[in-house]
Amino acid sequence: MAEVSVTKDAAPAADELVALRNVNKHFGALHVLQDIDLTIDRGEVVVVIGPSGSGKSTLCRAINRLETVESGTITIDGKPLPQEGKELARLRADVGMVFQSFNLFAHKTVLENVMLGQVKVRKAEKSAAEDKARKLLDRVGVGTQADKYPAQLSGGQQQRVAIARALAMDPKIMLFDEPTSALDPEMINEVLEVMQQLARDGMTMVVVTHEMGFARSAANRVVFMADGRIVEEATPDQFFSHPRSDRAKDFLSKILHH
């Protein structure tokens, strides 16, 4: 619990980085995002939790427009998300994303995975990109695997490479879409530790996860979603010890007591 106070003190004064206003989306008849209002401040770590199918992954993917929304506005750093095209690509470069299934480029080595965006998108020099990639790989603890292909790595290692790949773009914010859900239990911690470190370093993060321990220790704010709505927003302490809504109480009773 000591970490909680550390991260909370580190959060700077309110400074809006991402804002969702009145966002709606359907998948066919399913109203997957309903009137979503959410603001994420610079340096804040927001953990989104909720039952499966509650729309939390869709919310996360909507922030960099991997999912389009039907109504409402999403702004990043004051700029509304543009249509598909060069401008959106530029904006996405500033928004790191980590996927449940890692999605490392299968035909590239680990090192190339981390260099590619720097060279092709940021137009960095190859040598500078390689230096930076190696430093980042060391930072997430897979420096020795640089020349292997993703398929030769364990899930936990792949996910840490994916985090390094996103960090290589110097993102303003990192989105994590269930980063540990596809991992074997013994590999979850190595990924969570990297994420904890990022949170301590002041990275703005949106984390969709089922890891309640991570939510407790690293989050500034917990957002609880159910049936496409944000049901409750609170600090982790408040949320886990005194949930206000019945829906949240029900959810917590199912996952915390067994």
Positions touching other proteins (CB under 8 A) are 64, 66, 84-86, 89-97, 99, 101, 103-107, 116-117, 120-121, 149, 151-152, 162, 165-166, 169
For the bound state, the minimum distance from the C-beta of residue 235 to other proteins, rounded and expressed in Å, comes to: 29
Q: Taking the mean position of all CA atoms in its chain, how far away is CA 232?
A: 19
Q: Which is nearer to other proteins, 169 or 203 (CB)?
A: 169
What whole-number distance in Å separates Cα of residue 47 and Cα of residue 229?
Answer: 15
Residue 119, CA atoms < 13 Å, CB-side half-sphere: 14
The residues facing 229 across adjacent strands are 226
Q: How far apart are CA 9 and CA 87, in angstroms?
A: 35
162 vs 194 by CB, closer to other proteins: 162
Q: Which is nearer to other proteins, 149 or 240 (CB)?
A: 149
C-beta of 78 vs 85, nearer to other proteins: 85
Which of 226, 227, 230 has the alpha carbon at shortest distance from 39? 230
Q: Hunting for tokens 């490479």 — which residue is that?
A: 161
CB of 6 to other proteins, least distance (A): 29
- Smallest distance from other proteins to CB 234, Å: 29
Please report how close the Cβ of residue 116 comes to other proteins at its closest, in angstroms.
7
Q: Is 36 within 8 Å of 59 (Cβ atoms)? A: yes
Dihedral of alpha carbons 245, 235, 192, 124, sign:
positive
User: If you count them, how many residues does the chain have?
Assistant: 258
Taking the complex as a whole, the smallest distance from the CB of residue 166 to other proteins amounts, in Å, to 7
Helix (H) or strand (E) holding 73, with range, is: strand 71-76
- Indicate the Cα dihedral angle 64, 70, 76, 82, nearest 10°: 80
Return the HEC string of 95-132: EEEECCCCCCCCCCCHHHHHHHHHHHCCCCCHHHHHHH
Q: Let me know the angle formed at the C-alpha of 73 by 67 and 78, rounded to the nearest 5 degrees.
A: 110
Q: How far is the CB of 78 from other proteins (least distance, A)?
A: 19
Distance CA 56, CA 209 (A): 9
Q: How far is the CB of 167 from other proteins (least distance, A)?
A: 11
